Structure 1
Amino acid sequence: MITSMTAFAVNEAEIGNLKVTCELRSVNHRYLDVSLKLSDRLRFAETDIRSIISAKISRGKIECALSYKKQGKQQSFTVDADAVAALITATKLIEQQMYSSMSFSALEILAFPGIQQESELDKTDISAGINTLVTATVKQLLETRAREGRQLKAIIEERCVKIQGFIESANQRMPEVLTALRKKLTDKITELVAQPDFDRLEQELVYLTQKLDITEELDRLDTHVNEVLRVLDQSDPVGRRLDFLMQELNREANTLGSKSVDKDMTQISIELKVLIEQIREQVQNIE
């Protein structure tokens, strides 16, 4: 099953007296890269969160943001008396070096970092709740990635069918190209040489035909396209495999263009490269 690497999911849950929100964002990346945005009070859950994500996702840049709000009545807090005393002492020292006195209100002191001490969280219960929340959000993210993956698969299959059509057109066109080339060279030599050596001409035409033969390139193109269609039905992550196949398809299309001596064949080569590039852009988002 094709899975996209681009998705977003958000979920929230009530854990004790907290309302915790989990947001997951996923974009394409060569490997799995998990980035966490946690408040200091939830930092203890980092290891479990990384394990949950990496167990379900194998590729992509994942951003996980966890935030919380307190619920119910305002929770009590304690004041760090030593920090208050140190702050007041420092203020007095500063005032002694100023022309006018400066004072803080009680609220301003309370707003100073480190003065208010929140009560400790019950890490055991909260950790279990966070794990459940993250697991549910990851599931939601995977469902979104799967939906977009099905759309990507349909797009790639459509392009592959078009590529097969151009391969068939090239196969049908090639005998006509070689016949026209033979006639053109024969006529040209006949015009230039009074008594042309047709045996030598035939040898040169055979050599030229072999040099311009694109049968192998067309066969490899067809093989690679069939492999793409086969890989699309696999259940494992296939993004890297598809990326490799796009490189091989592009290589054969370039060779096809370099051997072309006919405007129709040149156009077929161009159309193939356009379709391959369109598929490659979609493959960049596949896990």
Structure 2
Amino acid sequence: MIQSMTGFGKHIVQLPSKKITVELKSLNSKNLDINARIPQTYREKELELRKMIADVLVRGKVDLALYVEITGEETTAEVNQGMVKKYMEQLANIAKGDDIKLLELALRMPDTLKTERDDIDEAEYKAITDAMKEALSEIISFRNEEGKVLEKDFDERLDNLNTLLAQIKEMDPERLATVRERLEKAVADLKVELDANRFEQELIYYLEKYDITEEKVRLANHLDYFKATLKSDDSNGKKLGFIAQEIGREINTIGSKANYAPMQQLVVQMKDELEKIKEQMLNVL
């Protein structure tokens, strides 16, 4: 079953004095690209959090956001009283005013608040990692659901390609007969004497150059292989991309050999279906 690289996961943990929120968002990317926004307190744990993501999400552009909101009386910020008093004294020397107004002005000045860095609380960090696991589980579920939508679309496109291929197979004898007739008429219009046996040999040689039997067989095999890969246990977008390239190669060869307008119209339709597959392929894990 295929997975999409588009996903979202979120989990909230409520502690006695803090609310912890972990959000994960992912989009398509050739490799795993993690962008982390976490509080300064947990910067030393960033590599561990990144590894948790890398162990689960193989590819994609992933945004990690960790929010820690203080909901109780706990705080690490304190008023720098000495600095505030110095500001108030200097402001009083510059202009007259009551203490309340001077205090309001002083608190707007730099360095009036000081924040002491706390050590990481192990219980709190465990709550963060648990929330991360839940968010990862949610984003995997999201990716699986998106993968089902992609798989349904791929199945429809593959069915359309198989239908068009069947029409090409049905049309092929008529195409060769038309090409042969055109060549015979062109030679007849020259009004020259030709050896019938030699002409027949040259005609067969020429028609063999327009034979698409191998291309039809290979294209059918590639379409079956693509569908089988969709149903495999692993999601392998890169492998599907390689198969899509081979499908495109066979379609292009059929188009170049067709030399027959009705068949070339079918080839154009096949290219359109394949292009839609390639667009969706960008989102497959």
1:70-149 to structure 2, matched below 5 A, reads 70-73=70-73, 75=75, 77-80=77-80, 88=87, 105-110=102-107, 112=109, 114-118=111-115, 120=118, 122-149=120-147
Match of 2:182 in 1: 184
Report if the CA contact (8 A) 1:189-1:196 is conserved. no
Counterpart of 2:166 (choices 168, 171, 176) is 168
TM-score by length of 1: 0.88
Matches of 2:150 and 2:38, distance apart in 1: 33
1:257-284 Cα offsets, whole Å, 9 max, x none, are 1112111110111111111111111111
Report if the CA contact (8 A) 2:80-2:111 is conserved. yes
User: Is the partner of 2:283 in helix, strand or coil?
Assistant: coil
User: Is the partner of 1:275 in helix, strand or coil?
Assistant: helix
Match of 1:217 in 2: 215
Matched AA of 2:240: L
The Cα shift of 1:59 comes to: 0.7
Structure 1 40/217 Cα, relative in aligned 2: closer, same or farther at 3 Å?
Answer: same
Count of matched residue pairs: 281
Match of 2:43 in 1: 43
Match of 2:30 in 1: 30
The Cα shift of 1:192 comes to: 2.2
Matches of 1:198 and 1:186, distance apart in 2: 11
User: Is the partner of 2:248 in helix, strand or coil?
Assistant: helix
Structure 1 76/245 Cα, relative in aligned 2: closer, same or farther at 3 Å?
Answer: closer
TM superposition outliers: structure 1 runs of 4+ over 3 Å: 73-85, 100-115
1:155-177 Cα offsets, whole Å, 9 max, x none, are 10111111111112112211111
Q: Percent identity?
A: 28
Matches of 2:76 and 2:174, distance apart in 1: 89
Report if the CA contact (8 A) 1:36-1:64 is conserved. yes
Matches of 1:102 and 1:132, distance apart in 2: 56
Report if the CA contact (8 A) 1:190-1:196 is conserved. no
Report if the CA contact (8 A) 1:238-1:286 is conserved. yes
Report if the CA contact (8 A) 1:8-1:25 is conserved. yes
The Cα shift of 1:121 comes to: 5.3
Matches of 1:279 and 1:191, distance apart in 2: 46
Matches of 2:96 and 2:239, distance apart in 1: 68
Matched, 1:155 2:135: no
Match of 1:231 in 2: 229
Choose 272-281 or 174-183, whichever is displaced more: 174-183
Counterpart of 1:282 (choices 275, 280, 283) is 280
Q: Which runs of 5+ in 1 are unaligned?
A: none
TM-score by length of 2: 0.88
Match of 1:197 in 2: 195
Matches of 1:64 and 1:197, distance apart in 2: 78
The Cα shift of 1:16 comes to: 4.4
The Cα shift of 1:194 comes to: 4.7
Match of 1:266 in 2: 264
Matches of 2:60 and 2:95, distance apart in 1: 57
1:10-30 Cα offsets, whole Å, 9 max, x none, are 221113421011111100000
Report if the CA contact (8 A) 1:214-1:256 is conserved. yes
Matches of 1:53 and 1:113, distance apart in 2: 38
Matched AA of 1:106: L
User: Is the partner of 2:231 in helix, strand or coil?
Assistant: coil
Matches of 2:215 and 2:80, distance apart in 1: 77
Q: Which runs of 5+ in 2 are unaligned?
A: none
